[in-house]
Homo-oligomer: A and B are copies of this chain.
Amino acid sequence: MRIDDLATPALVVDVDALDRNLAVMAARFDGASLRPHVKAHKCTALAARQVAQGHRTFTCATPREVVGMATAGVGEHLLLANEVLDHDRLTAMVEACDRAGIGLAVAIDSVETLDAARRAGVREVLIDVEVGLPRCGISPDAAGSLADAARRAGIEVSGVMGYEGHLQMVTDRVQQREQVAQSMAMLRHAHDEVGGPIVSAGGTGTHRAHVIGLGHPTGVTEIQAGSYALMDTQYEELGDGFERALTIIGTVISVNGRRGVADVGLKALGMDHGNPAIDGATVWFCSDEHLTFATPEGTGPVVGSRVRVTPAHVDPTIARHETIWLAQGDDVVGQWSVDLRHW
């Protein structure tokens, strides 16, 4: 089958580009120094490909991601890098990981999340520390006493995590490195109080500012990048040696002169970072099931032809689809289930 034979909208991953992206990152952060974030692709089959690159620890954002990874038997240790209070879901994660013989650590940033973890039988936690992004995370000064409380409750505290999400899109490398260093100084300060072998941070946008094992001032032991595998138009601006590996194939369903409408709309896209892109065309706007675009002078689109749409933000885009189609060139060579969706 050719990708132009797929029913549309169809999420298509170029496996060669994917493999190149995985290899580039694995060369920079090998083995357990990269803890790939599965929220970016929500796909155990893609995670297995990251295992093939030598990674054996994974980051998850939701209980269903943890349970799905454990059920599929992918990875050796999972980190739920998010606060969860839901007793049933925490318990399900513990049980699924125990059944699979996979390690599980859960992020906590409060006595309430510690208590929820304890009641669900979680045996290992990381202290989530706020390092500048106004989101989850305890203040660095309070991290030590939360770790003490966890240890008093009989829970292993294996370190700290902090996400410098506010620095992911700082395009000036020197400036970014300085800001990441400041942010990670906060994390190290917390780690001094917390202890444990893990200092986890970073993402695709900041990974270059982290160098592990060379005494670099960020001092992290692992980074949590996810988007590097498939990329999107936003991260592409950073130009870090990764390629766009994900496209949505659409069908042109209506044409009026140089204006075309493709069947790739809001329900096939994450729109929080704005409109998607079509090479060689200008995207006007998206509706529920439509993308209106215009082509340059003299090259009007054709009804029934295909367009390749690149989303501005890959994570929430993939979460809207059931299937990832694998392509080499224009040939469809396989399909993966987006099996880690929902909560």
Point out residues on A near B: beta carbons under 8 Å.
7-9, 39, 61-62, 82-86, 88-89, 109-110, 112-113, 128, 130, 134-137, 139, 165, 251, 253-256, 259, 261, 263, 266-267, 270-272, 284, 286-290, 292, 303-304, 313, 315-316, 319-322, 342-343
Contacts and interface: CB of A to CB of B under 8 A. Distances in A.
A206 to B, nearest CB: 15
B287 A135 contact: yes
A117 B112 CA distance: 58
Given A253-B136, A322-B342, A8 B130 contact: no
Contact of A266 (B135, B316, B321): B316
B315 A266 contact: yes
A316 B271 CA distance: 10
Nearest to A254: B136
A144 to B, nearest CB: 17
A110 B319 contact: no
A133 to B, nearest CB: 9
Smallest CB-CB A-B distances: 6 pairs: A83-B253, A136-B254, A271-B272, A112-B303, A266-B316, A267-B319
B304 A85 contact: yes
Contacts of A284: 134
19 contacts: A7-B89, A9-B343, A39-B288, A39-B289, A82-B263, A82-B290, A84-B263, A85-B251, A85-B304, A86-B251, A112-B303, A112-B304, A113-B303, A130-B256, A134-B256, A135-B261, A139-B256, A266-B315, A321-B342
Contacts of A261: 83, 135-136
A253 B289 contact: no
Contact of A288 (B130, B134, B263, B315): B315
A273 to B, nearest CB: 9
B61 A288 contact: yes
A191 to B, nearest CB: 19
Contact of A113 (B9, B83, B134, B253): B253
Given A39-B288, A130-B256, 5 more contacts: A39-B289, A85-B303, A110-B303, A136-B254, A139-B256
A254 B289 contact: no
Contacts of A86: 7-8, 251
A31 B127 CA distance: 59
A272 B254 contact: no
A320 B322 contact: no
Contacts of A288: 39, 61, 315-316
Contacts of A263: 82, 84, 343
A296 B253 CA distance: 48
Nearest to A271: B272
A44 to B, nearest CB: 17
Contacts of A136: 253-254, 261, 290
B254 A83 contact: yes
A182 B252 CA distance: 28
A319 B320 contact: yes
Nearest to A321: B342
